[in-house]
Structure 1
Amino acid sequence: MATGAEQAHGAAAPGMPQLDFTTFPNQIFWLVVTLVVIYLVLTRLAIPRIATVLAERRGTVANDLATAEELKLKAQEAEATYEKALADARAEAQKIVAEARAEINRDLDAANARAEAEIAARLAESETRIAAIRDTATENVRAVARETAVEVARAILPAAASDPAALVSAVDRRMEMEGGA
């Protein structure tokens, strides 16, 4: 029993409509038309836009690389200038340190010379005072020794006390032998 729809179509074999060989020429025509339209759209619109974008990117990359190279050269020049300025500053600092050191040494030598001169002057003055004190002390000792010798001689030998000049002369000789004069 066939239904009304089946009778209207006739006795068609059931199956997939894509595999119905009677519609192949029509499908092939529309396939070719679609491929030609896609080809034309791609060649006229999409591919030129893509090529333009790629060319712009290449140009941008090339410009960026050139700019980077310029900046690199400028940075190297700036670094060289900085290194030269740093070396000059170090040399100047060493020169200033050497000059300061030389000036300090000159001042130190002058101060040492003044101190040595002052010490020598004080030493000479002290030696002069010591010599004067020693001479005074020696004279005082001689005077006391003379007086003591005369007094002892008078006490022991009253006859020897009659010649005090001989006693004084004997005391002086004895002191000279001892290194007192």
Structure 2
Amino acid sequence: MATTQLAEDLPGICVDDHGSAIGMPQLCADWVPNQIFWLVITLVVIFFILSRIALPRIASVVAERTGTITNDIAAAEELKRQAGEAEKDYDRALADARAQAQAIGQQTRDDIKAQLDTAVADADAKIAAKTAESEAAIDEIRASSVANIEIVAKDTALAIVAALGATADQETVSRAVDSRMKG
């Protein structure tokens, strides 16, 4: 009787056939329509909150991120294209620099060869001049040595004739040495 009195005093408490309270009130069949009503109201409120506040914010964040990603991809493609062009320009500049270095090297080799040819020609001319001078000096020495030999031969012949005890005149000795020197 005490449980029946409790059920009458607190409406909504489920009691079994013996008048005792059921352990889980949410499973009480008397309360199911009330629970469904509040469940529907709660779901409608959550739906309106989500559809009016949360989902537009989420959609704007997703759209912003999608736009950012799209812009980043486009910027990356542009940077990739620019990097490709820069690499082509670099390769072209490198090839031009190599060609220019080859041209400078060839020009330098040509200049050095021309200078070397000029120096060799100058050296050859100096050597030829020195050779001509030397030959002239040798011819002079040869001519003077022949004259000196002739004088020495004449003086020696006079001395030999005098040493042998004979007398010879200068004219006879000169003719004898001249004829002998000619061959």
The CA distance in 1 between the partners of 2:24 and 2:101, in whole Å, is: 97
1:9 aligned partner? 6
> Cα RMSD between the aligned structures?
2.7
Question: SS of the residue aligned with 1:126?
Answer: helix
Deviation at 1:73, TM superposition (A): 1.6
The CA distance in 2 between the partners of 1:54 and 1:16, in whole Å, is: 43
Question: SS of the residue aligned with 1:35?
Answer: helix
Larger deviation, residues 108-117 vs 75-84: 75-84
The CA distance in 2 between the partners of 1:67 and 1:30, in whole Å, is: 52
Deviation at 1:153, TM superposition (A): 1.6
Deviations along 1:48-74, one digit per CA (max 9) or x if unpaired, are 332222122112211221122122222
Choose from 120, 134, 137 the match for 1:112: 120
Contact between 2:154 and 2:173, CA under 8 Å: does it hold in 1? Answer: yes
User: Are residues 1:138 and 2:146 paired?
Assistant: yes
User: Are residues 1:87 and 2:106 paired?
Assistant: no
Question: SS of the residue aligned with 1:71?
Answer: helix
Q: Which amino acid aligns with 1:16?
A: M
Deviation at 1:167, TM superposition (A): 4.2
Larger deviation, residues 6-15 vs 44-53: 6-15
Unaligned runs of 5+ in 2: 8-18
The CA distance in 2 between the partners of 1:78 and 1:14, in whole Å, is: 82
Choose from 144, 162, 172 the match for 1:154: 162
Unaligned runs of 5+ in 1: none
User: Are residues 1:128 and 2:125 paired?
Assistant: no
Larger deviation, residues 36-45 vs 137-146: 36-45
Choose from 40, 49, 62 the match for 1:54: 62
The CA distance in 2 between the partners of 1:77 and 1:71, in whole Å, is: 10
User: Are residues 1:64 and 2:72 paired?
Assistant: yes
Deviation at 1:29, TM superposition (A): 2.0
Q: Which amino acid aligns with 1:15?
A: G
Give identity over the alignment, percent.
50
Contact between 2:154 and 2:174, CA under 8 Å: does it hold in 1? Answer: yes
TM, length-normalised to structure 2: 0.76
2:10 aligned partner? none
Say how many residue pairs are matched: 172
Deviation at 1:111, TM superposition (A): 1.6
Deviation at 1:91, TM superposition (A): 2.1
